[in-house]
Structure 1
Amino acid sequence: MTLLAVERIKLFSTRSPWWCMALAMVITIGMAALISANTDDRFPLTVSVSQGFSNFGMVVIMVMAALAVTTEYRFGTIRATFLAVPGRVQALLAKTAVVALLAGVVGEAVAFGSWGIGTLIKPDADMAINSSAEWRNVAGTGLVFALAAVLAVAVGVLVRQTAGAVAILLVYTMLVESLIGLIPTLGQKIQRWLPFQNSTNFQTAGNESFMNETGGLDYPFGPWGSLVYFAAICVGLLVVALVVAKRRDA
């Protein structure tokens, strides 16, 4: 518990987490408000439409998670942390737990905030969360944000440089997985196994709209299976990062 408290204090002692959280909220809920205000009978406002921009908030939170690690490497404070704690793994796991918990809370706030702003703007729209698919689409956002933060921490530990870690996360999440689908013949066969495609499947399966259409991919797992697969990749990458951090100099 002491390690968790220390990591919480270190995380909130800098401005970057506050800016990232605020930016994630403003971008996601702001875009949901903009879309909600411009829906009509041809394009009605639904629960899934209100959640169409959650991935933008997720990317910002991943940047926050990576900064939580790379900032310590940049200023050398990670050395003091490793000297004060008997094992590097425990320190990094505590940091990961704090960051993932914060990411999960922000994810829930973003999701229900987007849903709530849509309900306020268009009170007559069908915004009731009735089905399990709709609950996954909204409440499941926190799980996806938390796991994505775990992956981002792992990348930060492996790369250790802020610019490199942020570039990798942004390019991969916003470009690579989408571009792979453009490869003739093999593109969609590979794409169905990619981590963030599966996290999207968890959130949108059975509840698709043009805002979050999964592209008709034949996913190897159902919604919850896709979440487990995504979690396995995130945790697996974290394990690799912990092994590397334990073996190399701080």
Structure 2
Amino acid sequence: MGSAIKSEFRKFFTTRLWWGMAIGIFVAGAVFAGFFGWALTSENGNTGGGPQLEGTATQVVNSVYTAGLGVGYLLLLTVGIMQIGSEYRHKTITATLLSTPKRVQAMLAKIIALLGIGGVYGLISLLGSVSVGAIVLTLRDIDPFPSTEVLRTLALSLLALGLWALIGLGVGILIPNQVAAILVGVGVAWIIEPLLSFGLAFVEWAAKIVPYFPSNATNSMVSGVTAQGQDVDFLPWWGGALVLGAYAVALSVFGTWRTSRQDIS
């Protein structure tokens, strides 16, 4: 099992993909944190000598540090898809399953590796967002760590990215064609789901399911998002974590089951 896990890490970190993704997720975290840090603390007629915050200091700091997470989880979704999709595309899945004949163990190795990869990228994302965000907040005379809740949000951000990588793994198994899986996965998470959430939020009975969409669960998990002008009750942070975890577990279990039963040529 240990050798299978090492093999999965080696497959990923010996390609140029990993550092390209690392640069992207670092820049996304830094740029969005800088922009939101400046925008959310802009002066709105406040004469007290400091910026007027839109919300409590903790809410603002959480929003700043997680501003680039939307791009981050799309990248981790892509990584999860490619971790299995590239095996099918380059016909290496046969060698993988021959080296680890017990298919359940092979899939568990991928799952553990993806959680580790998600953690690595999460640290890179937070390095960019916290370093730039803290500088902007300090320049605006705001404590960059006003409460321990901020540390909880940062830890949940790491978990969220790892879970999105597992969701990508499930999508990659559900749609064996790597290109199609990436287009469908990113398209649903980035375009279709937000539009569907917006539309359903105005329908009384349908608004109850909106908080359970993966992206909304992620937002609730890391920043305690609230609805504005819509009759939607979003989940608490722990509810969002449970829902996102349920998606990841369900897709991982499905992927393990399907891989253990399908014919590989």
Equivalent in the alignment of 2:101 = 86
Q: Residues 187, 112 of structure 1: CA spacing in aligned structure 2 closer, same or farther, 3 A cutoff?
A: farther
Match of 1:218 among 226, 230, 233: 233
Asked if 1:233 is matched to 2:247, the reply is yes
Unaligned runs of 5+ in 1: none
Equivalent in the alignment of 1:48 = 62
Shift of 1:99: 1.7
Name the count of aligned residue pairs. 243
Residues of 1 paired with 2:161 and 2:22: CA distance? 12
Equivalent in the alignment of 2:47 = none
* Partner SS, residue 159 of structure 2: helix
Shift of 1:187: 3.9
Unaligned runs of 5+ in 2: 45-51
* Partner SS, residue 41 of structure 1: coil
2:241 is aligned with what amino acid?
L
Residues of 2 paired with 1:242 and 1:229: CA distance? 20
For each residue in 1:18-71, what CA deviation from the matched residue of structure 2 results, as whole angstroms up to 9, or x when unmatched? 212221111221222244355522365941342222111111121122111111
Equivalent in the alignment of 1:165 = 181
| RMSD across aligned positions (CA) | 2.2
CA contact (8 A) 2:26 2:127 kept: no
For each residue in 1:63-106, what CA deviation from the matched residue of structure 2 results, as whole angstroms up to 9, or x when unmatched? 12211111111010110111121211211211121122111221
Matches within 5 A, 1:175-194: 175-181=191-197, 182-183=199-200, 184-185=202-203, 186-194=205-213
Match of 2:112 among 90, 97, 102: 97
Higher-Rg structure is 2
* Partner SS, residue 76 of structure 1: coil
| TM-score normalised by structure 1 residue count | 0.87
For each residue in 1:122-144, what CA deviation from the matched residue of structure 2 results, as whole angstroms up to 9, or x when unmatched? 42432432335423332311000
Q: Residues 178, 152 of structure 1: CA spacing in aligned structure 2 closer, same or farther, 3 A cutoff?
A: same
CA contact (8 A) 1:140 1:203 kept: yes
Asked if 1:115 is matched to 2:130, the reply is yes
Equivalent in the alignment of 2:144 = 128
1:148 is aligned with what amino acid?
W
Residues of 2 paired with 1:203 and 1:8: CA distance? 27
